[in-house]
Amino acid sequence: MTIRQAMVLAAGLGTRMRPITDTIPKPLVKIAGKPMIDYALDALAEAGVEQVVVNVHHHADQMEAHLRNYRGLDILISDERDVLMNNGGGLAKGLKLLGRDPVFVMNSDLFWIGETLGRPTNLQRLAGFFDTTRMDFAMLCVALDKTTGHNGKNDFNLAEDGRLSRYSNAVGNGVVYAGAIVMNPSVLDDAPDEAFNINIYYDKSIAKGRLYGTILEGHWLTVGTPEAIGEAEETIRTFRAFA
């Protein structure tokens, strides 16, 4: 399956990244010379996506100016200047600008490195893994020891058949959510118009046995504070040195 549409969640305030985010939005903070959101946009373009919705709020004018200059994708803006919608509300609002086919959803401050050239990318594999008959969401996941900048906690347990459940030490095989999913837009047809957390829908899907995950190839990075920038850039340098 080739997925042609996506949404990138980019409207957060980036409070933990202050004072940097006092003057620029977090998605435009550069890591190894590249704005964080461009890691997501480049991955989507490489996977065959053509149209992307990006939601904006904090320093929205800067975000829109940057996105106008991005080449390779048709980018639509979901404007949250008036009120932040949280990740669920923002996603539900943004999806209304897209079609009804399956869609990628990515965070703008989480990305990965170390994919093998010449093989399907992580997003292409995620799209191939997604089965609309069995899944509401297919989630890209990563083992804790292949992360940089994370808080050290697992998010889910991954069963042998790919089903996800909330993490428990007793179950084992814990994984971290890597900031990318494929989903059916229809899953959010009953979503409220106000702000809400998308975890409400993940839990509904877990209860129905319809939340699945697959493991990414490479190494995953999250950059939440100014101090984490150096750690992320050192990890990138190390991977490039051995590429």
Instruction: Write out pLDDT tens, residues 139-158.
Output: 999 999 999 988 889 999 99
Helix segments in the chain, DSSP class H: 36-46, 60-68, 86-95, 122-129, 199-208, 226-242
**Mean pLDDT score, 182-187:** 96
**Which run of H or of E encompasses 10?**
none
Of residues 17, 16, 11, 20, the one with CA closest to residue 57 = 11
Residues 6+ apart with CB under 8 A from 224: 16, 17, 109, 149
175 against 239, higher pLDDT: 175
225 vs 240: which has the higher pLDDT: 225
5 band by pLDDT with thresholds 50, 70 and 90: very high
pLDDT digits (tens, 9 = 90+) for 39-90: 999 999 999 999 999 999 999 999 999 999 999 899 999 999 999 999 999 9
State the chain's mean pLDDT as an integer.
Answer: 93
Residue appearing with tokens 């990563």: 142
Write the CA distances from 232 to 39, 40, 111, 119, 129, integer angstroms.
Answer: 13, 16, 10, 24, 29
| Mean pLDDT confidence for 128-147 | 96
In order, the DSSP letters of 100-166 are SS-EEEEETTEEEE-PPTTS--HHHHHHHH--TTT-SEEEEEE-GGGEES--S---EEE-TTSBEEE
Q: What mean pLDDT comes out for the span 223-239?
A: 90
Domains of the chain: 5-242 (3.90.550.10)
Please give the pLDDT value at position 170. 63
Q: What angle do CA 126, 179, 159 make, to 5 degrees?
A: 60
Residues 10-19 have pLDDT tens digits of: 998 888 889 9
